[in-house]
Amino acid sequence: MSANPQGDDAGAEIRPPSHAEGLIAPSRVRVEIAALTDIGRVREINEDAYLVSRIGRYLERLSSNLPETLVPHVEESGYIMIVADGMGGVEGGEVASRMALTALIKEMLRSSKWALNLDNPSTRDTEIRELTERAKRYLAAMHDAVRDRAARDPQLAGMGTTYTGAYSLGSDLFALHVGDSKAYLFRNGALLKITHDHTVAQRYADMGMISPEEVATHRMHHVLTRAVGGPDEELEGDLHHLEIRHGDRLLLCSDGLTDMAREEEIAAVLDAQPTSGGASQALVDLALERGGRDNVTVILSNYTAE
């Protein structure tokens, strides 16, 4: 699994946290999340799937003769946000995206460890290494589940899905990415791209065969080079590790949004809509007004440090 903490287009403002000192504890970070999906104006079914979950560490004193100072109340939450955009025909895409997320949930429930403790300098590096290994297992479980189902059903042959998932805990943000569903950080009025598309057109741009500006309109810009459930027996994802700051906003979306709206237009909506709910609705409405040629899914989170 490749690690690209900044993303190729993220710019100098996005940096991976190097140590625990100075990071914001999970208990001091408020997260406002909204998610919205729409079938669009052309497609017959919605092949997008999304998930928003809260997960964390919890300790509540029910009864004890110890002083309360020795048994503190602890409630630290992390947030999981995922967008998957299925492909493979009328039925295959819907099956692939939902099956991938179902396999992920099952694998997470089988995991012996959920919660992280990233604000302890003595264990932080170990925790991050363990999270990276779990992310590899989760991705492999999704990939195998989709491939196995396609192998058993000829009508689903060739199905697959993108996967863009984020996990935030305090001021730590981890993003795992395969395909061309995107993740952005909106910071100080600028939209910074975290992910790097796995498409033939993007590969051409990386090789210098076309300009970056040509990627969005190139005839191969929707042909994926990596996908959950794709032909490769082993799947590699990009894992990004970033530091969340007060006032940051995280956007995950399917290409039903980015195909219809330019990045500067998305930034303008985020600038004009301060709440996650209002901005999510405005972004989906923008994609529909432009024609809604694909399913569109948006997850938006606002981060506030107390």
20 or 181, higher pLDDT: 181
More confident site: 263 or 17: 263
Burial class (CB in 10 A: 0-12, 13-18, 19+), 25: middle
pLDDT computed for residue 6 by the predictor: 44
Q: For residue 25, what pLDDT is reported?
A: 80
Q: Does domain 2-305 have CATH number 3.20.20.70?
A: no
Of the ranges 16-20, 211-215, 258-262, 287-291, which one carries the lowest mean pLDDT score? 16-20
The 10s digit of each residue's pLDDT in 130-164 is 999 999 999 999 999 999 999 999 999 999 999 99
Specify the pLDDT at position 9. 42
Are 55 and 114 spatial neighbours (Cβ–Cβ below 8 Å)?
yes
Q: 222-263, pLDDT tens digit by residue?
A: 999 999 999 999 999 999 999 999 999 999 999 999 999 999
pLDDT at 12 over 50: no
Helix, coil or strand: residue 28: helix
- The pLDDT value recorded for residue 8 is 41
The per-residue pLDDT for 11 is 42
pLDDT digits (tens, 9 = 90+) for 61-105: 999 999 988 988 888 899 999 999 999 866 799 999 999 999 999
Give the burial string for 40-71 (b: 16+ CB within 10 Å, else e): beebeebbbbbbeeeebbeeeeeeeeeeeeee
Domain boundaries, the chain: 2-305
Query: Which residues in 227-254 are b (16+ Cβ under 10 Å) and which e?
Result: bbbbeeeebebbbbbbbbbeebbbbbbb
Distance CA 198, CA 195 (A): 9
